[in-house]
Amino acid sequence: MTSPIRQEKQAKPDQLSDWHAPTISYEQLKPKTQSPAPNSYLIDVREPEEVAQGIIPSAVNLPLSTIGSAFSLKSEEFQKQYGFPKPKHSDELTFYCRSGKRSSSASDVAARNGYTNVLNYKGSWLDWTAQEVGSVPQQ
């Protein structure tokens, strides 16, 4: 298994206009869902109505619509509002959505908020479902 390329240096906000988070594949993500590391978060940025249709095992939900304000919350407030501990800036954050567009935006927001170990599951929910059950859900 190949390891995803990681951004070693924290990007400065003014340097992020052409920055894109490294991507992770289904093959790289699958083992992480089976044995999640304590300093690693798989974050579904879809809205709660979408998450109700299914979620990748071990994922937590942090909707893209709230992510900017969420990262500015104090740890206690974050935990109370979202039901999981606020990630540390050095934790691994892997974002996904339905098709990879919103997760790319979430990755950018995380980097702008000082998170340095950010990954984007580019295939997102559609790829996960296709890999797991062999068919893409109809919308």
Please report the DSSP string for 13-70 in residue order.
Answer: GGGGGG--PPB--HHHHHHHHHS--TTEEEEE-S-HHHHTT---TT-EE--HHHHHHH
* CATH code: domain of residue 114: 3.40.250.10
Domain total in the chain: 1
Q: Do the domain assignments include residue 4?
A: no
Which is the catalytic residue, given 97, 106, 110, 118? 97
Q: Do the domain assignments include residue 17?
A: no
Q: Do the domain assignments include residue 59?
A: yes
Tens digit of pLDDT for each residue in 35-88?
Answer: 999 999 999 999 999 999 999 999 999 999 999 999 999 999 999 999 999 999
Q: Do the domain assignments include residue 138?
A: no
Q: Residue 13 catalytic?
A: no
Q: Do the domain assignments include residue 116?
A: yes
Domain boundaries, position 110: 22-131
Whether 78 contacts 104, CB under 8 Å: no
What is the pTM assigned to this prediction?
Answer: 0.84
